A and B are shown apart, each in its own frame.
Chain A
């Protein structure tokens, strides 16, 4: 028995030692350049395809192996991780406010939006509806959401980019119909009374709607909606409302990190690649709206034309939208307090 114990302890120590060594070896001896892209929840399929294309291109042109890793989670929690020290070379988050939080932590240099073409926006997206097969509740546009007995699934605006955008889309659509601020407030207040559960992230809300089969309509990213409908194999349908918000998932190089990694050039090249025809094509095929007009026109049938209003329709900019609607004690907090009070 004594021997076995000795062996156990020795094995544990050796393993501990080995693991230390192996992690160091992985960092220094590996010939491939490593890039870490910290992204938001529903972009898995997109980045998989983009990375494949970019890695192949880079290896052919520069003759250098490249290994790009991508992490996915709720946009705000990803920003938080980068702020706490996650070694991201680039961030490709859902909301301007999240990228801005990383910048304000001193990790991204000021003026990052102007570093890349099209205000650092290689693709855009919007919020659309997903309904059950045959659209049994006849939901065609925003006002239909308030029909008696309609249950709406959307994630929590406090924690999720999808949630914030759903809120802003609903608000902006009310204004778009010619309503006043007070009408918009009344509409959105009523809308959140139809929400039975507020999940914390986009994918969690998708699971609630598509797999747990809760609710009649799911307000979600256009690309997420397309995937969700594909996965459901005929059980779900997409409905495009007449107007919705233009979502701007900006991209940025994390300057403080790439300086230390020595990856500034390759990181920049990676993000610039997003604006090439090849990448824009991949973006369109993954149901994000490409920023290049020509490619967008080519995939016209995939992206039905709806009125997309910018954030300026509902607030001065993304920061102002956050302060007005989602900050502590702001509109959304008042709405949820109000509805709790009535129940």
Chain B
């Protein structure tokens, strides 16, 4: 980075602050370090017309900046590139690389260890589940999964319990994350801690506390019995237990996303007369959609796989309160190995689908976060 140029720009910026509001790109591009420089390059490229409309998830500030003329932007791009080259000398890079290089045997041992333990801990067990499930043939596999009424019911039950718990946590999670990210209120940190509590509590304890509340000898038990309402050892208990252990997932996922995006657009919407629901549906939800989907996915994966808490409140009545993980356990203990592995493989398939979706969503969430962070940088500079 050449000294006079930097001084000139800095001077320019100080001397004519108003210029940065109309020609945001030059000001933003030529100040400070490498990171804003790169961003300014991208912004400049966008202003040339290479931008897709969808990429500009920005507030009014960036749109104003997009009015920079083409030639100014081209100049800016080339100067930014030159600066970037100057900033990191090439021979430094190669030294850096040499310093990183370990002797061959160290590298091979470490790689071998990593690959070996992955193979032993993940790949072989996963493959074995499918191998065991299919060992008696495809026909038996199908029979084990769908011709046993209790197993069929466990699949159906899981498909009721998990989405219900996710739905409840969706409403709660969005509300709680929004409150925590947007407002400072007494008890805010207490709320944040409370949301984390299910992560810290063992699922078995979570189940037990439900038994202590709703069990026949618990606080509400006798009243519930009198009114013939079933909570423990019935569907509501399963849902409550699942909700409890999956409570943090959506809220935890959304708080950083909401914080990164900032309140500006919501404030703008309110200032333009939007009502609460309009802000939620038109501004907040579209902004957090990928983070939200990611949270839902994690929440759902955990809800479907939950064992400990559900185990305590289930009562294990086959065909009534056995979810898929409980059924896998019971089949295995009943010496029905192919049956239990068949159901386990179905859970595993769900996990693999979740994993693929998770990877996709993770990328989108990160992009969303980066976009928000970038806007933030640009806005601070302008």
**Chain A residues near B160 (CB, 8 Å)?**
15, 18-19, 22
- Measured between beta carbons, the chain A residues less than 8 angstroms from B183 are none
**CB–CB B167/A85 < 8 A:** no
Instruction: Evaluate contact between A5 and B320: CB separation under 8 angstroms.
Output: no
Cross-chain contact of B217 among A41, A73, A83 (Cβ < 8 A): A83
- Among listed B99-107, B116-124, B282-290, interface-contacting one: B282-290
* Interface residue B187 (Cβ < 8 Å from any Cβ of A): no
Q: Which of A1-49 contact B (CB under 8 A)?
A: 1-2, 5-6, 8-9, 11-13, 15-16, 18-20, 22-23, 36, 41, 44
**Are A9 and B171 in contact (CB-based, < 8 A)?**
yes
| Residue of B232, B235, B282 touching A85 (CB-CB under 8 A) | B232
* In the complex, A50 has a CB within 8 A of chain B: no
Task: Please give the distance in Å from B333's CB to the nearest CB on chain A.
Answer: 5
Cβ-defined contact, A87 with B164, below 8 A: no
B216–A9 touching, CB < 8 Å? no
A15-B160, A19-B164, A70-B318 as given contacts; A84 in contact with B170, CB under 8 Å: no
Contact A69 B319 (CB under 8 A): yes
Which residues of A lie under 8 Å from residue B281 when comparing CB positions?
A: 2, 5-6
Name the A residues within 8 Å of B221 (CB-CB).
84-85
* Minimum Cβ distance to chain A for residue B319 (Å): 6
Contact of B285 among A1, A16, A36 (CB under 8 A): A1
Query: A83 and B170 in contact (CB under 8 A), knowing A19-B235, A71-B316, A72-B316?
Result: no
A-B pairs under 8 A by CB, number: 91
Contact at B167–A44, with CB atoms within 8 Å?
no
SS of B interface (majority): helix
CA distance A23 to B156 in the complex (A): 12
Nearest chain A residue, comparing its CB with the CB of B215: A84
A84 touching B164 in the complex, CB below 8 Å, given contacts A1-B289, A9-B171: no
Contact with B along A77-88 (1 / 0, CB 8 A): 000010111110
- Min CB gap B228→A, angstroms: 8
Q: Which residues of A contact B262 (CB under 8 A)?
A: none
B303 to chain A, nearest CB (A): 12
State the CA gap A69–B150 with chains docked (Å). Answer: 10
Tell me if B185 is interfacial: C-beta within 8 Å of chain A: no
B141 interfacial contact with A, CB 8 Å: no
CB-defined contacts of B36 to chain A, threshold 8 Å? none
B335's contact among A11, A19, A72, A227, by CB below 8 Å, is which?
A227
**Residue A194 lies at the interface, judged by CB distance under 8 Å to chain B:** no
B286 with A1: CB separation less than 8 A? yes
State A72–B330 Cα separation when bound (angstroms). Answer: 8
Q: Please report the C-alpha to C-alpha distance between residue A162 and residue B253 in the assembled complex, in whole angstroms.
A: 47
Of the candidates B167, B217, B282, B289, the one whose C-beta lies within 8 Å of that of A9 is: B167
A86 and B315 form a contact (CB under 8 A): yes
B167–A12 CB distance below 8 A: yes
A69 to B318, CA, bound (A): 7
- Asked whether any CB of chain B lies closer than 8 Å to the CB of A231, the reply is yes
B198 contacts the other chain (CB 8 A) = no
Q: Which residues of A contact B163 (CB under 8 A)?
A: 11-12, 15
Q: Which of B105-162 contact A (CB under 8 A)?
A: 160-161
A71 touches B315 (CB 8 A): yes
Q: What are 18 inter-chain pairs, A to B, with CB distance below 8 A?
A: A2-B285, A8-B167, A8-B170, A9-B170, A11-B163, A12-B163, A12-B168, A12-B170, A15-B160, A41-B333, A71-B315, A84-B211, A84-B216, A84-B218, A85-B225, A86-B233, A87-B233, A231-B335
